[in-house]
C-alpha cells in the first residue's frame, strides 16, 4: 500500500516565485507569466495553468511540496507539445525539454520561440546517453511525465543529471505500465523500484485531475 506522505496537504502551500493564484473568469487558478500555448485563459501577461492538462499543475493544486522555488535548472522528460514545460520555463531557469515524438516536438519548438530559457531536445528519455553531452550536470529538478512501461527505470537512468540536493517530480501513469493490473499495485511496484536510487519524500494520487496517476516527490540517495 502507498504509505509515504499520503495525508492531506493544504492546497495553499507555498508556490514557486513566478507562480501565482489569480482570478480567471471569476475562478482563482494557478498562473504563470508567458505567451499562451494551449488556448488557456489569459489576464494581461498572466496565463492560467490548467491542472487537468498538467500533472505537475495537479501536484501544485493538491499542495504537494515540489521543491521548486523559481530559477532552478530543470530537466523535463516527456515534454510533449509543451503544455506543462512552457509553464515551468516561465518561472524556472534553464529548462531542457526532452521529447521523442516528432509531431508534438514541433509544437514544443513553437512554445520555445518566446521562451529563451526553454531548450527543446528531440531525444528519447529512455536513452539519456543521447543528450548527456547537452544537459548540464547537477540539475536542480527532474520533472518526468513519460507514458511508457518502465517509468521508474527512466527516472533511475536520468538520476545521473540530478544534483545531490535535487528533486525528482514524477507523474506515474498506471495504464502505461500495465493496463490489466490494479493501479494501486502498479504504484507500489514503481515505488519499490524507484527506491533503489531515490528517497521518496511524498506521494499522492492525482485522481482529482488525472485518473490512475500518482505524483511522487523524491530526492537522490
- The set of cell numbers assigned to 215 is 505524483
124 is in an annotated binding site: yes
Transcribe 8-52 into DSSP letters. ---TTPPPPTTEEEEEETTEEEEEEES--SSS--EETTEEE--GG
Per-residue pLDDT, 14: 84
The ranges assigned to domains in the chain are: 19-220
- The set of cell numbers assigned to 171 is 507523474
pLDDT at 8 over 50: no
- The set of cell numbers assigned to 49 is 495553468
52 is in an annotated binding site: no
147 is in an annotated binding site: yes
pTM: 0.93
84 is in an annotated binding site: yes
pLDDT at 140 over 70: yes
Q: Can you say whether residue 163 is alpha, beta or left, with left for phi > 0 and alpha for psi between -120 and 50 degrees?
A: beta
Q: Which residues fall within 8 angstroms of residue 40, CB to CB, at 6 or more apart? A: 47, 48, 49, 50
58 is in an annotated binding site: no
83 is in an annotated binding site: yes
Residues 219 and 221: their CA atoms lie apart, in Å, by 7
3 is in an annotated binding site: no
Q: Does domain 19-220 sit in CATH 3.40.50.150? A: yes
Residues 177 and 180: their CA atoms lie apart, in Å, by 9
Tell me the per-residue pLDDT of 172-207, one tens digit each, with 9 for 90 and over: 999 999 999 999 999 999 999 999 999 999 999 999
- The set of cell numbers assigned to 77 is 522528460
Residue 127: pLDDT band (50, 70, 90) is: very high
- Torsion angle, alpha carbons of 173, 174, 180, 185, to 10: 180
Amino acid at each position: 500500500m502507498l504509505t509515504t506522505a499520503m495525508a492531506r496537504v493544504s492546497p495553499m502551500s507555498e508556490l514557486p516565485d513566478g507562480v501565482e493564484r489569480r482570478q480567471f473568469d471569476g475562478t482563482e487558478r494557478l498562473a504563470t507569466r508567458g505567451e499562451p500555448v494551449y488556448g488557456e485563459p489569459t489576464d494581461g501577461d498572466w496565463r492560467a495553468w490548467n491542472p487537468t492538462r498538467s500533472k505537475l499543475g495537479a501536484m501544485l493544486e493538491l499542495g504537494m511540496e515540489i521543491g521548486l522555488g523559481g530559477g532552478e535548472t530543470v530537466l523535463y522528460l516527456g515534454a510533449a507539445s509543451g503544455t506543462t514545460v512552457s509553464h515551468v520555463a516561465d518561472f524556472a531557469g534553464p529548462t531542457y525539454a526532452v521529447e521523442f515524438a516528432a509531431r508534438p516536438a514541433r509544437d514544443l519548438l513553437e512554445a520555445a520561440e518566446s521562451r529563451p530559457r526553454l531548450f527543446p531536445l528531440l531525444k528519447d528519455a529512455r536513452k539519456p546517453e543521447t543528450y548527456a553531452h547537452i544537459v548540464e550536470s547537477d540539475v536542480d529538478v527532474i520533472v518526468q511525465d513519460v507514458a511508457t512501461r518502465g517509468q521508474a527505470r527512466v527516472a533511475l537512468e536520468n538520476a545521473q543529471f540530478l544534483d545531490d540536493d535535487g528533486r525528482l517530480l514524477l507523474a506515474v501513469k498506471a495504464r502505461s505500465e500495465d493496463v490489466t493490473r490494479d493501479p494501486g499495485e502498479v504504484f507500489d511496484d514503481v515505488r519499490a523500484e524507484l527506491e533503489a536510487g531515490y528517497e521518496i519524500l511524498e506521494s499522492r494520487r492525482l485522481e482529482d485531475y488525472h485518473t490512475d496517476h500518482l505524483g511522487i516527490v523524491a530526492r537522490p540517495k
